[in-house]
Amino acid sequence: MVPIKAYNHQQECQTIEEFDQIQNDPDRLYIEALLIRERILMSKKDKELCAPLLERGEEFLNQGDFESCLHLWEHTFHLYQNMGYETSLDRFVWVFCKMLIANVPIPPQLFIQICLLTFEPSEQDNNLLGLRNAFFPNLAATQLILTYGNHWINVDAVDLLDGNTALHIISQSDKLDALSIIELLINAGAHLDCLNKHNKTAFDYAKTIEMQTLLQKQQTPSLLKCLCARHIVTQQLQYESIWPAETRLNTFIYLHGCIAEDIRFIGEHP
């Protein structure tokens, strides 16, 4: 087993001598017991493997050791997944709320790590795409990500397969949380008339009348800048030399038809 943060990067003792050296260290002995349990019970997919990990995490939480709790529960999350059991973000949301109440800053890197438990990273960094079917849509998770991860999240990021944004994806869902998540994305600045590879907007995929009404209301009338971006794409106007390649303007134009036209984003590397 590769050393991990959840177990303080410790590994299971391999000799009697190594075991003797930790006899007077209660914390190290506890970790040793966890390592042995994981080795034995993981192969049997025994759910009881996770019980002491969850309890240990609660102890850390009560002591105000939030980071240790998160690392341990992150590992527990992976164990549940690997054994094929259902997982949720509830515990992590609870810890983050506790940290906010205690006025303890949430480390950005750790926050992103937890986010990635639910959000599959695409080849673009830190976006809202590829949500695992088991969790999507999840209103609480999306609200948490958009509220506290807005410095790292690109709500208009597109997937590489169909050029869909998060709005495209959630609009195709008929789950109860879908409409509320659409509102969250819009309030977070998600662009409504982004075109995917099939030249479709989120409105074109809307599953319900309520979704259609909300999306249509928000994007009517069309903004002049959106109409201009589409005109640039459809007319294939040469704008590359007018301003630097890696700008928000290029990204904006890209989202208004370049994907459907199979035009390489000039800010990308070949």
pLDDT band at 68 (very low <50, low <70, confident <90, very high): very high
**99 CB burial (10 A radius; 0-12, 13-18, 19+):** buried
Could you give the C-alpha distances from 190 to 146, 167, 255, in angstroms and in order?
11, 7, 11
| One-letter-per-residue 3-state SS of 232-267 | HHHCCCCCCCCCCCCCHHHHHHHHHHHCCCCCCCCC
pLDDT at 20 over 90: yes
* Cis geometry, peptide bond prior to residue 270 (ω within 30 degrees of 0): no
- CA atoms of 167 and 190, how far apart (whole Å): 7
User: What φ, ψ does residue 121 adopt, rounded to 5°?
Assistant: -75, 135
What's the mean per-residue pLDDT of the chain?
A: 79
Q: Quickly count: other Cβ atoms within 10 Å of residue 120's Cβ.
A: 13
pLDDT at 180: 92
- CA atoms of 26 and 113, how far apart (whole Å): 29
Determine contact, residues 1/12, Cβ cutoff 8 Å.
yes
Average pLDDT over residues 168-182: 88
For residue 110, give the 3-state DSSP assignment.
helix
Average pLDDT over residues 131-152: 63
Average pLDDT over residues 177-183: 91
H helical segments located in 88-205? 90-101, 108-118, 139-148, 166-171, 178-187, 202-205
- For the chain, state the CA radius of gyration: 23
pLDDT band at 265 (very low <50, low <70, confident <90, very high): very low
pLDDT at 137: 60
pLDDT at 124: 35
Q: Which residue has the tokens 């906010």?
A: 100
pLDDT at 57: 93
pLDDT band at 71 (very low <50, low <70, confident <90, very high): very high
pLDDT at 111: 76
pLDDT at 22: 94
Q: Which residues contact 70 (CB under 8 A, 6 or more apart)?
A: 92, 95, 110, 114
Determine contact, residues 132/164, Cβ cutoff 8 Å.
no
